[in-house]
Structure 1
């Protein structure tokens, strides 16, 4: 059985709602406070990117159980402009928003698995997984 919950990202308040949802899900799966913070930070970055660059999208949080491991997958999806150069946005310190640039490389470091699928003019789907240790 797949347990999936989601938050539509349309306003800045939705970023807060997505963070809260992520924290609650992480707590229920059994993550400690440090990993809960990592997960909510990753959600915050991904939701902010949707809000800033795509205008609208969705954060989904899916609980996973695989080979005896428990975890959470964050799926950030939008139908925005897409990412022209994924390698470039994955460089530390790269920012088009003037933010801290923790962005995507930061999310990749906070999580265990990280995958970007993007099509110019169609949108982006990012999947980031954290496994319970």
Structure 2
């Protein structure tokens, strides 16, 4: 298995780099083109959130194996302002950026596993996983 690869997110080009890294790793692992698109969309959303709300952070992507399953785990971490109300940001249609509001609920739907931890004034950590079918 390949090792974890990380992209520091400080500007819009870093979002593009994180997306490309995710697509490349997903393709390498044998994910379908549909799942590659889901993975890159989820990474893009997480990286964009880091850029918009925290200013900077990091997206890490790693191939994983559990028993006979193989997949990709993505973690997005920042030391930004944190999320005041996780339940609210997980509601469909909720937006603070004036975007479409697909946001984190969309990321959760695109992936097989989703976990979020956030502490106000400390930062946010989101972990998502997609398993090969």
Instruction: Pick the TM interval, shorter chain.
Output: over 0.9
Per-residue CA distance 1:33-58 (angstroms, 9 max, x = gap): 00000000000000000000000000
- Answering whether residue 96 of structure 2 is matched by residue 58 of structure 1, we say no
Cross-structure match for 2:17 = 17
Unaligned runs of 5+ in 2: none
Cross-structure match for 2:96 = 96
The 2-side partners of 1:120 and 1:2 are apart by: 34
Cross-structure match for 1:35 = 35
The 2-side partners of 1:3 and 1:42 are apart by: 20
RMSD: 0.8
The 2-side partners of 1:95 and 1:108 are apart by: 15
Taking structure 1 as the reference length, what is the TM-score of the superposition?
0.98
1:3, distance to aligned residue in structure 2 (A): 1.5
Cross-structure match for 2:3 = 3
The 2-side partners of 1:115 and 1:131 are apart by: 15
Q: Would you say how many aligned residue pairs link Structure 1 and Structure 2?
A: 133
Unaligned runs of 5+ in 1: none
What secondary structure is seen at the aligned counterpart in 1 of 2:4? strand
Per-residue CA distance 1:11-66 (angstroms, 9 max, x = gap): 01100000000000101111010000000000000000000000000000011000
Cross-structure match for 1:79 = 79
What secondary structure is seen at the aligned counterpart in 2 of 1:3? coil
Cross-structure match for 1:69 = 69
Per-residue CA distance 1:63-120 (angstroms, 9 max, x = gap): 1000110000110000000000000000000000001101000000000000001111
Q: Which 4+ stretches in 1 moved above 4 angstroms?
A: none
